[in-house]
Structure 1
Amino acid sequence: MNVREVLAEIYRRNRVLALAGWFNLLLLVLMFCVAPFDARTVLGLNLWIKPMKFAVSFTVYLWTLAWLLSYLPRYPRMVRLISWGSAIVALGEMFCILSQAARGVKSHFNFATPYDSMIFTVMGLLIIFNTLLVALVLLLFFLRTAALPPAYLWGIRFGLLLFLLASLEGYAMISHGAHTIGMADGGPGLPFVNWSTRAGDLRAAHFLGFHALQLLPLAGYAVSRHQGHATRGQRVALVSALAVVYLATFSALFWQAMNGQPLLNLGAIF
């Protein structure tokens, strides 16, 4: 499939999530046009950088979910609930993040005023709801799905499970009141993502865990198609091993951040 065919297939599989993803891309384009003309910063970065990152992230997430939910034809009501719920969460989160950016203030961990606290609380409630929706998707994939190669199916299951772990890791940020361990949020960071180069940063593990939702199903799909004469059991074992390595890497990044250690020792550069 080329890119156009993939996008058409996503729309065919789930119009709600496909359109919600396109809306986030539209927001991305608008912010990209506005950012060069707005000199305001938050934590040392142009204040539109963070909303742009979230717009990209939500687009990828919504389109991935659109693809995966098509494998649950036995649960049309559940799929509708998950689709609309996920779209509402994404749009609600983007509204909160964009509105705070327009005001020139932080969206996360901002308790400066009652309004700021309310915005962050709403965002937290939306994410809790989304976590419950993903947990429901995982449960359905352990019940009855469309006929899928076992390696691919387990790749999807492992991807959903790692995504949930990354969601739970997000609550560590909330309990800490920041994403940086060992210093205040902000300061020197890696380009664009701005992960701290001076202290621990929980966002690295968060990012890796979330994108297990794409990488592990893709690995399962590839293994199911290109492992020659390997048995089904061997293919599932290979995908399981990849998931264990992924989990170990996620855990190592989380441990590293919680101990106040930067992802890379780039202090001399940044």
Structure 2
Amino acid sequence: MDGDGQPTALDERGPAHSRASLGVGTGARDIERGAYVVAALLVASGLVHLGVLVVSGGPWLGPVSLRKALTFGLSFGLTLAAVTWVTSSLALRPATRTVLLATFTAVSVLETALVTMQAWRGVPSHLNFATGFDTAVSMTLAGGGGLIIVTVLGFAAGAVGGAARRLSPSMRLAVHSGFALLVVGLAVGGVMIGSGVTEARTGNAQLAYSAMSTLKPVHGVALHAILVLPALAWALGRTRWSERRRVRAVAAAAVAYVAMVVIVAVLTGL
């Protein structure tokens, strides 16, 4: 540990202190603490909507289902927590980290809130141009997705550019792979929105929703690699395995995850 309670990533004192570790400790930055709180609230929102769906027996499918509030709450909450955790040990400039993480946090809240509001109103959140208000919501969601891509690219560029140099080789591989798959997932999300808006604007709303439904599984699976792969590397850092063996295990897991994304894409007809 350093003087601020931060784990020193180069510590080689054994499994309990592996430099594969990630964590913010008692000296966590305020922006990171705030992001964790927001992530917990988003997950809680998703779980509340799960309870509402179970109790009410409401529809689980369709663009107006409360399922969207459930999935957005859980997905954004878990992704925000994972991004906060993973980036806490990257050697980024404090100002850069604060701007990127604050933006990601704010947009996560905005996206989840707008989707939840529209679900409770009983109208589609995306590709809905029925009224001026619904159009504004749909376009705000699209713009928010763009901001998320920009912030993730900022973090990913920092990690690839050397900000992850303090991490162990196994954790560094997990972070690089996780960010790469996260970018893929966000790119798929961007294609979903872009193609959907084009189809909806030309009067093919049903085709737009169908296209989005086809891409959703790949989008969802790819997004959460940023949590799964670093979590695996962290767990391996608590074992007595050699670092070389950990790297091989993380590499195998990354390849398997990519294969899973490809298989999902094939099964959904992409």
Verify the 8 A CA contact 1:96 1:119 in the aligned structure 2.
yes
Aligned: 1:252 with 2:263: yes
Q: Structure 1 unaligned segments of length 5 or more: list them.
A: 188-199, 260-270
- For 1:77 and 1:170, how far apart are their aligned partners in 2? 28
Indicate the structure whose relative CO is greater, using CA pairs within 8 Å and at least 6 residues apart.
2
In the TM superposition, what is the alpha-carbon distance from 1:162 to its structure 2 partner?
0.2
- Encode CA deviations 1:98-120: one digit per residue, 9 max, x unaligned: 22112211112323333322211
- For 2:45 and 2:142, how far apart are their aligned partners in 1? 22
**Structure 1 residue identity aligned to 2:218:** A
Deviates more, 1:132-141 or 1:25-34: 25-34
Question: Percent same amino acid among aligned pairs?
Answer: 23
Verify the 8 A CA contact 1:35 1:46 in the aligned structure 2.
no
**Counterpart residue number, 1:212:** 225
Verify the 8 A CA contact 1:163 1:213 in the aligned structure 2.
yes
Verify the 8 A CA contact 1:86 1:130 in the aligned structure 2.
yes
Verify the 8 A CA contact 2:173 2:247 in the aligned structure 1.
yes
* Counterparts of residues 74-89 of structure 1 (less than 5 Å): 74-89=92-107
**Counterpart residue number, 1:263:** none
- For 1:246 and 1:93, how far apart are their aligned partners in 2? 27
DSSP 3-state at the match of 1:111: coil
**Counterpart residue number, 1:194:** none
Q: Which has the higher helix share?
A: 2
Deviates more, 1:167-176 or 1:156-165: 167-176
- For 1:162 and 1:34, how far apart are their aligned partners in 2? 32
**Counterpart residue number, 1:153:** 172
**Counterpart residue number, 2:142:** 124
In the TM superposition, what is the alpha-carbon distance from 1:141 to its structure 2 partner?
1.4
Match of 1:162 among 181, 184, 187: 181
User: TM-score if structure 2 supplies the norm length?
Assistant: 0.74
Verify the 8 A CA contact 1:43 1:185 in the aligned structure 2.
no
* Counterparts of residues 82-121 of structure 1 (less than 5 Å): 82-121=100-139
Aligned: 1:71 with 2:89: yes
Aligned: 1:241 with 2:252: yes
Verify the 8 A CA contact 1:71 1:146 in the aligned structure 2.
no
Verify the 8 A CA contact 1:35 1:48 in the aligned structure 2.
yes
- For 1:167 and 1:110, how far apart are their aligned partners in 2? 21
- For 1:240 and 1:157, how far apart are their aligned partners in 2? 11
DSSP 3-state at the match of 2:128: coil
- Encode CA deviations 1:170-208: one digit per residue, 9 max, x unaligned: 123224429xxxx86889xxxxxxxxxxxx732221111
Deviates more, 1:169-178 or 1:39-48: 39-48
The alignment yields a C-alpha RMSD, in angstroms, of: 3.6
In the TM superposition, what is the alpha-carbon distance from 1:32 to its structure 2 partner?
5.1
**Structure 2 residue identity aligned to 1:210:** L
User: TM-score if structure 1 supplies the norm length?
Assistant: 0.74
CA gap 1:251/1:227 in 2 versus in 1, 3 angstroms: farther
- For 2:147 and 2:159, how far apart are their aligned partners in 1? 19
In the TM superposition, what is the alpha-carbon distance from 1:93 to its structure 2 partner?
0.4
* Counterparts of residues 186-201 of structure 1 (less than 5 Å): 201=214
Verify the 8 A CA contact 1:41 1:104 in the aligned structure 2.
no
Deviates more, 1:38-47 or 1:90-99: 38-47
